Amino acid sequence: MIPINLLPKIEGIVVPTVTPLLENGQLDVKGAETLIRHLLRGGVHSLFILGSTGETPSLSVSLRKDLIKAVCRSTNQEKPLLVGISDTCLDVSLELAQVAQTEGAAAVVALTPFFFHLDQEDLYQYYMHLADQCALPLILYNFPHMTKCHLEVDTVRALSKHPRIIGIKDSSGNGVYLEKLLEIKAEKPDFYILTGPEEMLAQTVLAGADGGVSGGANLFPQLYVRLFEAAKAKDWKTMQQIQPIVLEISKRIYGKGGKSYSYFQGLKVAMEKLGICGSHLASPLLRIQPALETDIQSAILEIKEKVNQL
């Protein structure tokens, strides 16, 4: 465990890793190790396992623990590792946090609990209790589209006063909400603001966010690192070169299939076509139709060529 006062900055490209799986639904340990090597070679700034991109709600607790251990071994603290501990059961979250601490993770990340409709007082008490019980720094995770539960700005501001709550990952895609979060950062500069929609990476970094949690970095880590660095440097030319490719990935890889989880289908098929890891999804998610898989294969090879030409 890295002491909070010595924690490296959580900024730049924080990759929300996919969870490589075998056909039987078990963890593909070799695939996970290959993925981590690929990301580290790509120069990403941090790794985030067991987030939404990792299909976490569909994974058993034992598989999640195995993944934490495998990735911690692979990274060997070369880059900060954030571990998702989101669950509807607080005890499970604390159990996962303990494994993350033991294995050497830098921080943990927790979604708002889902299923029950919780008000802001409920959420405040939940996160305070979680932070009190966790030895690791905690990052809030706001994703109302999936959880149906929204962390209001005043609640985030109140929670930011806890010494172990160090930031928020916001996947709402709401620009007004981001502006209000950045007001909290102005009051507390060491409170990290990370944004989810990769299509908005450059825009949010220019606005003052610390970094982006970009699923496409699983495919082309260097591409997203370059976009982040260009945004930080206000290098408009480079941003104009890269942004269309990011949008093309979103449209041609994530936008197939017509399902609410087409993002996961497309991303994993693309990773398989690039030789990074297999494309098996955790039940109940289904593999994409063969015809669409062929489309994605053509798309990812064309996109790879564009990335290589940058």
Catalytic residues: 141, 169
Helix residue ranges, H only, 234-309: 236-249, 262-273, 290-309
Compute the radius of gyration of the chain from its Cα atoms.
18
C-alpha to C-alpha distances, 240 to 83, 204, 226, nearest whole angstrom = 33, 15, 12
Query: Is 213 annotated as a binding-site member?
Result: yes
Which helix (H) or strand (E) segment holds residue 91: the answer is helix 90-103
Q: Hey, what are 269's tokens? A: 């098929």
Q: Do residues 243 and 214 make contact, with C-beta atoms less than 8 angstroms apart?
A: no
* 84 vs 209: CA distance, rounded Å: 20
Query: Is 53 annotated as a binding-site member?
Result: yes
C-alpha to C-alpha distances, 184 to 104, 167, 180, 192, 232, nearest whole angstrom = 29, 10, 7, 10, 20
Burial class of 290 by CB neighbour count within 10 A (0 to 12, 13 to 18, 19+): exposed
Residues annotated as binding site for pyruvate? 53, 213
Residues annotated as binding site? 53, 213
